[in-house]
Chains A and B, each alone.
Chain A
Amino acid sequence: MACGGGLTAASLNEENIDPLLQGKTLYSNNCAQCHGHFSESNKKFKSENQISAAIQNVTQMSFLKNLDSNKIAMIAEALMEGVVESEDFTVISPRNNASVTSSFIINGKCILGLQIALSGDFGTKLFTCNGNYSFVVSNLQSGIKTFKVTQQNPTGYIELNRSVIYTVADPISDSVEQTLNNSCTTSGEDVALNPIKRMSKIEYINSLKTLFFDSHWNLFYPSIQSFIDSIPNDQVMDSITTYMRFSKTKSEVKFEHIDQFHKIAEAVSIYFGTIGLDQQRRIFGNCFFYDNTQITCAESFIRSFGLKTFSRPVSTAEFNDARAIYLAETSSRLEGLKSVIYYFLMSPQFLFHMEIESNQSADVITLTQFEIARKISFLITSELPDAYMLNLAQTGQLLSSAQRIAAVNYLVTTYPDKTKETYWQFIKEWLGKNRNEQFPSSSKLSGMVNGLFNPSTQGEEVREGMKDELRKMFEYYTFTNPSGFSEILTNSNSFSTNTLVSSLNGVAAWNGTGAPQNFPANQKRGFLTSSALLTTGGTSNNPFHVGGMIYKHILCREFGNTPAPQDLIPGDNTGQLKTTRDHFSSLTPNGSSCMNCHSQINPLGFPFEDYDFLGRHRNGFEKIYNTNGEEINQLQVDATSTPYLAKRDIAVTGALDLIQKIDQSKESHACFAKQYFRFANYRKDTPEDSCSIKRAYQAIKTGTVLDMIKSIVADDNFIKRRINP
Chain B
Amino acid sequence: MKNKDLLHYDPISRRVFIRSVCGGLVAFPFLESVLGEKAYASAIGEKRFIGITTPNQLPYAYLGPSKLLGANIPTNYQSVVSQLVDPNGWNYRRVALSDVILREGRISDLLDNKFNAFSNSIYMYRGLDFPGRIDHGRATSLGNMAASHLGHDVKAIANMTIDEFMANSLNFYPNGRFSMTKDILRLGENSISTSNITGNSGVGIGANNGGLSYNGNLSLALQNWFSTASTQSNSSKKNIVDRIISSINTLKSRNSMGAADVIKVEEHQDRLSQLSSRLASTSTVNMSLFNGVTMPNITPSSLGNLADGPTQINNYYTNLVLLLSLAIKCGITKIATIGVESSILSTGASSAQGGSPGSWHGDYAHGNIGPEILALNKWVIDNVVYKLALELNSNESTGVKYLDNTCIYFTPENSYGHSGEGMAGFTIGGSSRINSGNYFDYGDYARRTVKLDWLKVTPDIGLEHGVGLPINRLHVSLLRAMGLTSQDYINKFGNSGSGFGFWRRTYNDSWEANMGSVDRANPDLPLPGFLKS
Contacts and interface: CB of A to CB of B under 8 A. Distances in A.
A349 B268 CA distance: 11
B260 A254 contact: no
B510 interface: no
B201 to A, nearest CB: 15
A695 to B, nearest CB: 26
Contacts of A255: 178-180, 271, 274-275
Interface string A561-585: 0011111110000000000000000
B251 A263 contact: no
Given A565-B497, A723-B256, A348 B251 contact: yes
B295 interface: no
A254 B179 contact: yes
Contacts of A365: 256
Contacts of B239: 325, 328
A255 B275 CA distance: 8
A258 B271 contact: yes
A196 B230 CA distance: 31
A342 B258 CA distance: 28
Interface in B248-299: 248, 250-251, 254-261, 263-265, 267-268, 271-272, 274-275
Interface in A240-286: 251-259, 262-263, 266-267, 269-270, 273
A347 B232 contact: no
Instruction: Give the size range of A's interface with the partner.
Output: 35 or more
Contact of B498 (A257, A338, A567): A567
A273 B231 contact: yes
A254 B255 contact: no
A361 interface: yes
A409 interface: no
A723 B229 contact: no
Interface stretch (A350-358, A414-422, A518-526): A350-358
B483 interface: no
A196 to B, nearest CB: 5
Interface string B220-239: 00000000111110001101
A339 B240 contact: yes
Interface string B390-423: 0000000000000000000000000000000000
A431 to B, nearest CB: 18
Contact of A725 (B157, B259, B499): B259
A357 B254 CA distance: 8
Contacts of B264: 195-198, 251, 253, 352
A324 B242 CA distance: 13
B155 interface: yes
B356 interface: no
B237 A342 contact: yes
Contact of B241 (A257, A346, A349): A346
Nearest to B173: A254
A81 interface: no
A373 B313 CA distance: 59
A659 B506 CA distance: 42
A564 B258 CA distance: 35
A128 B323 CA distance: 92
Interface in B443-500: 491, 495-499
B497 A356 contact: no
B244 A329 contact: no
Given A251-B264, A252-B267, A346-B244, A568 B181 contact: no
B254 A339 contact: no
29 contacts: A193-B258, A195-B263, A195-B264, A251-B264, A252-B176, A255-B179, A262-B237, A262-B241, A267-B229, A270-B230, A273-B231, A317-B250, A339-B240, A342-B237, A343-B243, A348-B265, A349-B251, A355-B256, A356-B251, A356-B254, A356-B256, A356-B257, A356-B261, A359-B256, A564-B497, A568-B497, A722-B258, A723-B258, A725-B259
Interface of A: 193, 195-198, 230, 232, 239, 251-259, 262-263, 266-267, 269-270, 273, 317-318, 321, 324-325, 328-329, 331, 335, 338-339, 342-343, 346-349, 351-352, 354-361, 365, 563-569, 722-725
Given A254-B177, A256-B180, A329-B232, 19 more contacts: A195-B260, A230-B181, A256-B181, A258-B271, A263-B229, A266-B228, A266-B229, A269-B230, A342-B240, A347-B244, A349-B251, A352-B264, A356-B257, A358-B256, A359-B255, A359-B256, A564-B495, A566-B497, A567-B156
